Amino acid sequence: MKLNIGVIKGDGIGPEIVAEAMKVLDKTGQVYGHEMNYTQLLMGGASIDVHGIPLTDETIEQAKASDAVLMGSIGGDAKTSPWYQLEPSKRPEAGLLKIRKALNLFANLRPAVLYDELKGACPLKEEITQGGFDMMIMRELTGGLYFGERSTEEVDGLMTAHDTLTYNEAEIRRIAKRGFDIAMKRRRKVTSVDKANVLDSSRLWRKVVEEVAAEYPEVELEHMLVDNCAMQLVKDPKQFDVILTENMFGDILSDEASMVTGSIGMLASASLNESRFGLYEPSGGSAPDIAGKGIANPIATILSAAMMLRFSFDLDKEADAIENAVSKVLKDGYRTIDIMSEGKMQIGTSEMGDKICGYIG
């Protein structure tokens, strides 16, 4: 099979971690007989440096012409990078939000799994993590506060800013369906997270999610308020199978979920539209403080590439091979610095990529 993959290396550690994911994809292609055809795309700070804006229409068209896009991370240090002297709509993050919207990537899947081998890196007590946990955060990605009308202006002599949180029932229904569909392939439980005790948008969310739930009688649905969910994630993460939530809550809870797995450097993510197209990226940021040092953890990006093979290309066997290779390397005791613990062997970014390749095929 020929895979046309758009590649956004991005900023900070982006180019380093994407290089390892491409290495792993190439190895997988060799072993299973697939041709990887990459098109480099510019986005974020790297695009600002060349075009003055974080995402050009040409890049959007190139992304649309690909079967899937693999991405590193975008953005720089807000205190020191000249990108942050630009107005907000021209900064690196604006490119990310624009491509999500332009490609209609409304469903963001972030799996948070505690690997047995990484229990040492997990900040939770052993009695909480015993038996491990495996949850999927289904985050709505093209609505809510991120895309509502916003402004900053002077009102009665005071600087005043406002952001708006809007959802219509169709937006809620399509993400809820995705959440229930994936629950059917897992442990058949959906925890819908909202703030229905305060927000109208959450009350509509809850109503529509209940309507969708009626179409999935085999799936257990529970509602949870977002503040309680933040607490439950550290108190008893095992209880979760699929967490279904809106954009902003999903942003916050997915960082928290990643940390209880040991490191944000482990958390993959897929952003999907109605078709098979998806953008695959690690959930972590561009970590400009460690960029270029060769110490970043490439596993989240490598696992994102595995998700790409699974969701956009239906290559389950190949995706399994990558995921198993990651487990084996962890079992062997190799660690990047972020997941390092006593008695393990610390290795760098590209060595980690090599070790994972070594277990494929």
Q: Which stretch in 31-39, 146-154, 179-187, 243-251 sits in contact with Mg ion by CB under 5 A?
A: 243-251
Between CA 206 and CA 224 the distance in angstroms is 10
Q: What is the footprint of ligand IPM within residues 234-273 (CB under 6 A)?
A: 251
Please, what's the b/e burial string for 135-162 (b: 16 or more CB within 10 A of its CB; e: otherwise)? bbbbbbbbbbbbbeeeeeeeeeeeeeee
User: What count of other Cβ atoms lies within 10 Å of the Cβ of residue 274?
Assistant: 11
Minimum CB separation of residue 108 from Mg ion in Å reads: 10
* Tokens 């290495």 belong to residue: 23
Between CA 258 and CA 267 the distance in angstroms is 6
Comparing CB distances to ligand IPM, the nearer of 29 and 45 is: 45
DSSP-based three-state secondary structure for 36? strand
301 binds, among ligand IPM, Mg ion, none (CB under 5 to 8 A by kind): none
Query: Would you call 320 a catalytic residue per the annotation?
Result: no
Comparing CB distances to Mg ion, the nearer of 117 and 251 is: 251
Number of residues that bind ligand IPM (CB under 6 A): 5
96 binds, among Mg ion, ligand IPM, none (CB under 5 to 8 A by kind): ligand IPM
Comparing CB distances to ligand IPM, the nearer of 88 and 361 is: 88
Q: Pick the catalytic residue from 11, 251, 338, 359.
A: 251
Tell me which residue of 355, 247, 344 sits closest to 299, measured CA to CA.
355
User: What count of other Cβ atoms lies within 10 Å of the Cβ of residue 284?
Assistant: 23
Between CA 247 and CA 268 the distance in angstroms is 17
Q: What is the footprint of ligand IPM within residues 276-295 (CB under 6 A)?
A: 283
Query: Would you call 251 a catalytic residue per the annotation?
Result: yes
User: What count of other Cβ atoms lies within 10 Å of the Cβ of residue 228?
Assistant: 11
Q: Output the CA–CA distances (angstroms, integers) from residue 205 to 67, 79, 121, 198, in the order listed.
A: 32, 37, 35, 12
User: What count of other Cβ atoms lies within 10 Å of the Cβ of residue 15?
Assistant: 17
Q: Pick the catalytic residue from 200, 227, 314, 320.
A: 227
Between CA 17 and CA 71 the distance in angstroms is 9
Site map (CB under 6 A) of ligand IPM, residues 47-76, x = contact: ----------------------------x-
Q: What is the footprint of ligand IPM within residues 119-138 (CB under 6 A)?
A: none
Q: Pick the catalytic residue from 67, 134, 163, 255.
A: 255
Minimum CB separation of residue 170 from ligand IPM in Å reads: 21
Told to check if 251 binds Mg ion by CB under 5 A, we report yes
Minimum CB separation of residue 49 from ligand IPM in Å reads: 18
Comparing CB distances to ligand IPM, the nearer of 146 and 313 is: 146
Tell me which residue of 199, 194, 197 sits closest to 243, measured CA to CA.
194
246 binds, among ligand IPM, Mg ion, none (CB under 5 to 8 A by kind): none
Comparing CB distances to Mg ion, the nearer of 241 and 281 is: 281
Told to check if 140 binds ligand IPM by CB under 6 A, we report no
Comparing CB distances to ligand IPM, the nearer of 269 and 312 is: 269
Q: Can you read off the two tokens belonging to residue 347?
A: 């290795």
Q: Pick the catalytic residue from 11, 23, 146, 167.
A: 146
Between CA 242 and CA 144 the distance in angstroms is 20
Query: Which one of 96, 244, 287, 299 is in contact with ligand IPM (CB under 6 A)?
Result: 96
Minimum CB separation of residue 299 from ligand IPM in Å reads: 17
Minimum CB separation of residue 251 from ligand IPM in Å reads: 4
Minimum CB separation of residue 285 from Mg ion in Å reads: 7
Please, what's the b/e burial string for 24-61 (b: 16 or more CB within 10 A of its CB; e: otherwise)? bbebbbeeeebebebeebbbbbbbbeeeebbbbeebbe
Query: Would you call 163 a catalytic residue per the annotation?
Result: no
Active site residues: 146, 195, 227, 251, 255
Residues that bind Mg ion (CB under 5 A): 251
Residues that bind ligand IPM (CB under 6 A): 75, 93, 96, 251, 283
